[in-house]
Amino acid sequence: MRRKKILTLILYIYITIVSLSNITFDKLTTENGLISDEVMCLTQDNNGFLWIGTKIGLNRYDGCEYKKYSQNNNNFKNDYINTLYADKEDNLWVGTGVGLSKIDLKNGKIKNYTQEDGFEENQMVMDIIEDSNGIIWFVSREKGLTKFIEKENNFIKINEISKDATSIAKDSSGNLWIGTYNGLYKVNKKIEKIDSNLLLDEWVQDVIIDENDC
Which pLDDT belongs to residue 190? 57
Which pLDDT belongs to residue 126? 96
Percent of the chain with pLDDT strictly greater than 90: 57
* pLDDT band, residue 193 (cuts 50/70/90): low
Which pLDDT belongs to residue 31? 92
Which pLDDT belongs to residue 192? 58
Residue 117 backbone dihedrals phi, psi, to 5 degrees = -90, -5
What is 30-193's CATH topology? Methylamine Dehydrogenase; Chain H (2.130.10)
Over residues 194-200, mean pLDDT: 49
Lowest mean pLDDT among 62-76, 125-139, 175-189: 175-189
3-state secondary structure of 15: helix
On the question of pLDDT at 104 being above 70, the answer is yes
Q: Which of 37, 35, 43 is nearest to 70 (CA)?
A: 35
Over residues 26-50, mean pLDDT: 92
Distances (CA, A) of 73 to 47, 98, 121, 124: 24, 17, 20, 21
More confident residue, 30 or 211: 30
**Measured between alpha carbons, how far is 112 from 104 in angstroms, rounded to an integer?**
11
Residues ≥6 apart with Cβ < 8 Å to 40: 53, 54, 55, 80, 81, 82, 83
**Measured between alpha carbons, how far is 83 from 165 in angstroms, rounded to an integer?**
13
Over residues 146-169, mean pLDDT: 91
Domain residue ranges of the chain, discontinuous segments joined by +: 30-193
Mean pLDDT of the chain, nearest integer: 85
Percent of the chain with pLDDT strictly greater than 70: 82
Angle, CA of 122, 123 and 128, to the nearest 5°: 145
- Helix H or strand E segment including 13: helix 2-21
Lowest mean pLDDT among 80-94, 104-118, 154-168: 154-168
More confident residue, 204 or 169: 169
The set of long-range contacts for 187-195, using a CB threshold of 8 Å and a minimum separation of 24, is 187/145, 187/158, 187/161, 191/158, 191/160, 191/161
In contact, 58 and 73? CB cutoff 8 Å: no
Convert the pLDDT of each residue in 48-69 to its tens digit.
999 999 999 999 999 999 999 9
Could you tell me the strand order of the sheet in which 57-61 lies?
A: 39-44, 50-54, 57-61, 66-69
Q: Which of 102, 95, 108, 96 is nearest to 47 (CA)?
A: 108
Instruction: For residue 169, count other CB atoms closer than 10 A to its CB.
Output: 15
More confident residue, 210 or 127: 127
**Measured between alpha carbons, how far is 163 from 176 in angstroms, rounded to an integer?**
16
